[in-house]
Amino acid sequence: MGAVKNISHELFPCQGPMLNKRVRVCFHHDTRETIKGTVVRDDVEEPMKTIIKLDDDRYVLATECMYGPI
């Protein structure tokens, strides 16, 4: 676990333009099999995390998949 300066009860990183956007996600560069999802976090400052909620209720980091806007 860790601590990030700009995350606390009162602070959260600024969010980018992909927040709440629908995306198509694939894994291991296999674009033949995709799943849709919604970006639920899109940091534009540290810690620079993007999190996607997949339509099957799983959550993945952008670093664990490939994604693009629908």
Q: Specify the amino acid at residue 13.
A: P
Alpha carbon distance 5, 23 (integer Å): 29
| pTM for this entry | 0.92
Q: How far is CA 34 from CA 40, 42, 52, in A?
A: 18, 20, 13
Phi and psi angles of residue 62, each rounded to the nearest 5 degrees, phi first:
-60, -25
Q: Which residues pair with 59 in a beta bridge?
A: 53
pLDDT tens, 19-63?
Answer: 999 999 999 999 999 999 999 999 999 999 999 999 999 999 999
pLDDT at 2: 79
Longest CA pairwise span in the chain (Å): 42
Give yes or no for residue 18 having a pLDDT over 80.
yes
